[in-house]
Structure 1
Amino acid sequence: MHESVREQVSAEEWAQRVALAAAYRLVALHGWDDLIFTHLSARVPGPDHHFLINPYGMTFEEVTASSLVKVDLQGHKVMPSAYDINPAGFTIHSAIHAAREDANCVFHVHSLNGVAVSAQEGGVLPISQQSIFVLASLGYHDYEGVALRDDEKPRLVADLGKNQFLMLRNHGLLTVGSNVANAFQGLYTFERTCDIQVRAQAGGGKLVGIDAAIVSTAIQQAREVTRGAGGSLAWPALLRRLDRIDDSYKL
């Protein structure tokens, strides 16, 4: 099956499929998956408004380049697949892909500490180096139930705005990126921010905050740390790690 899919798509689409499948495996490796109920998506390179998303029913550790489902912005499959897609995933991801040309990738998870912080009134606190990068580009979206209604889309898009990070209240975390590497790097930073916050709060002591002036320079600091490469600086090493464990995501 994987050979026939590869033969049917462009080289650019196949590369995007491999990268997105790798991201699914990495999310599983870090324990951020929620059985089959969250989703990562990537726009298919080219003029058509198509994107790739996980087959509904596969765990993240099972996802491969060939098994990803290609759909249009109306949720219709544009290539045959034995699997459907998560309707809530389609609502969230299609809204952002349609509204943000720069959002080639949209990653959304229900991680334990991410949901825990999303339920806190104060949201993300400026208490760690990781948090300043999130706070420099963060929106919040209030919970409206499982994301199944089209009328929620404009509010979701408005709350994201031009930001890279969106905290879905009582629900989880979302990041956008120009490519898979950047979206994953953003998700990693968002997750670490929430992990650190929950642990710091559990310690019971008074927390030391970071000055707002430092937060305001976070984006420039991030560019310097990654030499302007963003998530692409770490991405090859992450792929090497995956390959040592299981390289079947490439199939």
Structure 2
Amino acid sequence: MATAIREASPDREREARLQLAACYRVFDMLGWSEMIYNHITLKVPGEEGAFLINPFGLHFSEVTASSLVKIDIDGNKLCGSPHPVNRAGFVQHAVFHRHLPDAHCIMHTHTTAGMAVSSLEGGLRPINFYAASFTGQIAYHDFEGVTVRDEEGARLVANLGDKRAMLLRNHGIVAMGRTLPEAFLRHWSLQRACEIQLATMSMGTPIEVPAEVIAVHQRDLFQAQAPGGPGAADFAAMVRKVDRIDPSWRD
């Protein structure tokens, strides 16, 4: 996927736009859209403090490379886009982009499974393969209402700490990564963990994975990764699939 994008355009911003637009279409294909809400943001390579975000008013299935809005860390548009930006998305994402140099890509969704587990006492439990991967690796932030107030930013960063996945209590999933594919795989895995927890708990009392087994599982996970870096092959496979459905995201 990365090679195909570079061949389509040598421009780094264009490459980022293509990758992010593809991601929005993949999220929609996977059923993670939420009307015109929720956000995936991606830093613009080589432009300090600039990142791309979805146009407020478009469904994930409508996002294209050219329609993405480039904004700075303070929410000012850096392109001639006619589309507005949702403040609820900008405030949350901007604070992470500002304070976390490794947060190249940030994803936030309101999936049913993610919201359900984030609303559950105890949150995500170590009761399945994917959840075991997140034991000790996930942060929590208490619900404070819609994220439009700047002062919540400090608490978001503090509660995140050194983690790069978070459940916003009563709200949903936040996942981030050094690359978009890494963030995608982190979100996908957390979403799967939540889905399986819902299914398991609907049937009875779940079996928790022992701490010593979790330690071995997390130690050995890298051996099950495909070449190319975290999430690279996974994301490329999803892009090929969405391309067969509708390649208009490249516009």
TM-score range, shorter chain: over 0.9
Distance in 2 between residues matched to 1:217 and 1:165, nearest whole Å: 20
Q: Is 1:87 equivalent to 2:87 in the alignment? A: yes
Q: Report if aligned partners of 2:56, 2:84 keep a CA contact under 8 Å in 1.
A: yes
Q: Closer, same or farther in 2 for the Cα pair 1:121/1:244, shift >3 Å?
A: same
| Cα displacement (A) at 1:242 | 1.2
Distance in 1 between residues matched to 2:117 and 2:139, nearest whole Å: 14
1:118 counterpart letter in structure 2: S
Distance in 1 between residues matched to 2:213 and 2:136, nearest whole Å: 10
% identity of equivalent residues: 38
2:150 corresponds to: 150
| Cα displacement (A) at 1:91 | 0.6
2:171 corresponds to: 171
2:209 corresponds to: 210
| Cα displacement (A) at 1:87 | 0.2
RMSD (Å), alpha carbons: 1.4
Q: Report if aligned partners of 1:143, 1:169 keep a CA contact under 8 Å in 2.
A: yes
- Deviating above 2 A after TM superposition, structure 1's stretches of 4 or more consecutive aligned residues are 213-222
| Cα displacement (A) at 1:235 | 2.0
| Cα displacement (A) at 1:234 | 1.5
Q: Which residues in structure 2 correspond to 1:84-123 (within 5 Å)?
A: 84-123=84-123
2:55 counterpart letter in structure 1: P
Q: Closer, same or farther in 2 for the Cα pair 1:108/1:127, shift >3 Å?
A: same
Q: Give per-residue Cα distances to partners, 1:165-195, cap 9 Å, x unaligned.
A: 1000000000001111111111110110110
| Cα displacement (A) at 1:218 | 4.4
2:48 corresponds to: 48
Report the 3-state secondary structure (helix = DSSP H, G, I; strand = E; otherwise coil) of the residue aligned with 2:71: strand
2:5 corresponds to: none
1:21 corresponds to: 21
Distance in 2 between residues matched to 1:220 and 1:234, nearest whole Å: 20
2:246 counterpart letter in structure 1: D
Q: Report if aligned partners of 2:23, 2:239 keep a CA contact under 8 Å in 1.
A: no
Uncovered stretches (5+) of structure 1, i.e. residues with no partner: 1-8
| Cα displacement (A) at 1:227 | 4.5
Q: Report if aligned partners of 2:141, 2:156 keep a CA contact under 8 Å in 1.
A: yes
Q: Give per-residue Cα distances to partners, 1:201-234, cap 9 Å, x unaligned.
A: 111x221110112323444333221156210122
